[in-house]
Structure 1
Amino acid sequence: MSASLNYKSFSKEQQTMDNLEKQLICPICLEMFTKPVVILPCQHNLCRKCASDIFQQEQASNPYLPTRGGTTVASGGRFRCPSCRHEVVLDRHGIYGLQRNLLVENIIDIYKQESTRPEKKSDQPRCEEHEEERINIYCLNCEVPTCSLCKIFGAHKDCQVAPLTHVFQRQK
């Protein structure tokens, strides 16, 4: 029974981390954004290197784009957002004139810290209703393990309970 409770909370946490990771993937390299991350006027994000690569490809593949004496990455130009095809017009600073998305960069840092942190080993399962509370009592009426807060304030306030250890000893 406790294994299923631990699995549920682990599964939910893992699903949240997976969903977050999907939001941190560059649409060009299909890897997690690498710093610096630039935000385009259409609000999509790219790794600066990927934005530079797209810009250079569009410049090379379209000789009819207006250039000012051999446009380079650092001297203005335009390209299309790979996500929505919105035209991005660069100023004289080129790709380096695009704003960095410091929020996304910070989220990536936090994500990497969390995903490399060792899993918390819990000796006791936690209550799904009160996540900080350990399951330490057994509801005799409903025949389910629960936490003290559920007994005091929650669904089991009118039920008979016993310490989980006593119920476990009787079951042996």
Structure 2
Amino acid sequence: MDTMDNLEKQLICPICLEMFTKPVVILPCQHNLCRKCANDVFQASNPYLPTRAGAVTSGGRFRCPSCRHEVVLDRHGVYGLQRNLLVENIIDMFKQGSTSSSSSSSKPEPEKREEAPMCEVHPEERINIYCVTHALPTCSMCKVFGAHKDCEVAPLTSVYQTQKTELNDGIAMIVGNNDRMQGIISQLELACSTVELSSDAVKRGLWS
């Protein structure tokens, strides 16, 4: 299980902080990006270059989000970057392994599709990361170029799971404390009843 977790960490895109989405491109510095994420970073770095079908198709440059190495592109834009077929194959094998292990243990529940909230600053980007520094959910572009570029961030899903666990633990503690208080109250009521009975017995003894 630890090996699978370590492998999954190696397959996380530094922009969207989720598992790489094919096609995966490899930069000259040997770091990998989802091609869509590479295109988002490229467009943000070259806002005045012409676009076609949502992608910058003429030459330009941007910096690798992992090492800040400058990436110079030709007239094909991000489509001129080489695909990392090895990483794509590893992703396929990882997903097959995860699917087979989950199906062998129990029948998975149907996936619930919910519309992801969009960033107010970058309306075309969905909120998918959590700024730990400011305790706010944000988008990948805010981390790369915006107000949170120098902040510590984490995947939104992992923060959600952590906070959900902490909340459940807090609720369990409150319930446990309530049960203990009820037990103490019951003991006090029993003690009061015993004292009252003893007092009545003493009174009857004095008047008899």
Q: State the Cα deviation string for residues 23-76 of structure 1 (Å, max 9, x = none).
A: 00000000100000000000000000000000011112xx7xxxxxx4441111
Name 1:112's counterpart in structure 2.
95
Equivalent residue for 1:99, pick from 82, 93, 108: 82
- Structure number with greater CO (CA < 8 Å, separation at least 6) is 1
What's the TM-score once normalised by structure 2's chain length?
0.46
Equivalent residue for 1:90, pick from 37, 53, 73: 73
Equivalent residue for 1:49, pick from 23, 31, 36: 36
RMSD: 1.6
Q: Which amino acid aligns with 1:51?
A: A
Q: Which amino acid aligns with 1:98?
A: L
What's the TM-score once normalised by structure 1's chain length?
0.55
Name 1:29's counterpart in structure 2.
16
| Contact in 2 for aligned 1:38/1:100 (Cα 8 Å) | yes
Distance 2:4 2:62 in 1: 32
Name 2:64's counterpart in structure 1.
81
Name 1:169's counterpart in structure 2.
none
The SS at the match of 1:112 is: helix
| Contact in 2 for aligned 1:26/1:47 (Cα 8 Å) | yes
Structure richer in helix, relative to its length: 2
Distance 1:118 1:15 in 2: 14
Gaps of 5+ in 2: 106-208
The SS at the match of 1:89 is: strand
Give every structure 1 segment of 4 or more consecutive aligned residues whose post-TM-superposition deviation is greater than 2 Å. Answer: 118-121
The SS at the match of 1:117 is: helix
Q: State the Cα deviation string for residues 82-138 of structure 1 (Å, max 9, x = none).
A: 0000000001111100000000000000000001113678xxxxxxxxxxxxxxxxx
| Contact in 2 for aligned 1:52/1:95 (Cα 8 Å) | yes
Q: Which amino acid aligns with 2:23?
A: P
The SS at the match of 2:33 is: strand
| Contact in 2 for aligned 1:71/1:77 (Cα 8 Å) | no
Pair member with larger Rg: 2
Q: Percent identity?
A: 79
Distance 1:79 1:25 in 2: 20
Higher mean alpha-carbon deviation, 70-79 vs 48-57, is at 70-79
Distance 2:5 2:12 in 1: 11
Gaps of 5+ in 1: 1-13, 64-69, 122-172
